[in-house]
Amino acid sequence: MCTVFVKNTSKGMLAARNHSWTQPGGSVHFVPRRRLYGKMVHALYLMDQWGQDRPFEGINEHGLFIGAAGIPDDLSPLGKQIPKPHDMDFCGIIRFVLERAKSTVEALQIFRSIPIQYDLKGKPDTVGYNVRCHFMVADPSGHAVNWADEKNCFTRRLAQGKGFPITNFPLSFKAADCNRYPILKKGMADVRGSASAMKLLEKATQPTTLWSSVYDLKRLSVELCIDLDFGFKFNFDFREKIAEGEKHLNFGELRLWEGYGHPREKEYSIPHNIYHTAEQLKKNKS
């Protein structure tokens, strides 16, 4: 399950998240502004496993961040859900909000107005059964919100140096038996920038952690580590990537960027003596 925190540092607001789940892989999406249903929606950076319409986290061009973490439904019961014509998938709501909101205030307006459907169609004793999400929402102003539902909504105006972590239980549930939560609480004081935020994520990893990402909400930059490899970081400048047009990269494509000399190089099937140019080919023949 997932780990999320935000902190207002001297350099601005950071958001950080470990995504831990049962299936491997993931994808990065850069989505420019577009006209949708008669409305211009915001440019997006999204991370997903189930399709870009169901991301687990993301940021938009205004520095609004949303990240999800699972909670057992019986710790904060929803009661019986009745499907409604305008309800949203529990991951789809992340993209929907990021497309339309510029701040946590606007994000909350949308969360409060749209029912969220958590039914994964799972059966008892299957992965994901009885699990729903709560969300961390943050913007560059220092405003952060943990939203599970109307009764479990916790808002913070973070002063400089203050942070706000969540893991896999609602904040209304006081018996915090998650071993990662104390790690975050203790380590939050040492987070001063993206590098130290990533170090804290590394301390809070699990064997099932698939990616770790740190977002600078002011500068609109993203650092990404995949497959528990904290020795190699992918760095994305949101504005530069959005200017290149719509782009989708899965983890297989990202690994091609790591290059020779990377610790995982031996896993690759590409040989060292591959010929790249006609000049190299001619030289090797002589």
Q: What is the pLDDT of residue 246?
A: 96
User: pLDDT digit of tens for each residue in the chain (286 aa)?
Assistant: 799 999 999 999 999 999 998 889 999 999 999 999 999 999 999 999 999 999 999 999 999 999 999 887 766 666 677 777 888 888 999 999 999 999 999 999 999 999 888 777 777 777 666 678 899 999 999 999 999 988 889 999 999 999 999 998 877 666 556 889 999 999 999 999 999 999 999 999 999 999 999 999 999 999 999 999 998 899 999 999 999 999 999 998 888 876 656 665 545 444 445 555 666 656 666 5
What was the pLDDT predicted at 194? 96
- Which among 147, 132, 69 has a CA at the least distance from the CA of 101? 147
Output the pLDDT for position 117.
84
Q: What is the pLDDT of residue 89?
A: 85
Return the CATH class of domain 3-285.
Answer: alpha beta
Amino acid at 222: V
> What confidence score (pLDDT) does residue 237 get?
95
Domain ranges within the chain, ordered by starting residue: 3-285
Give the pLDDT of residue 72.
Answer: 77
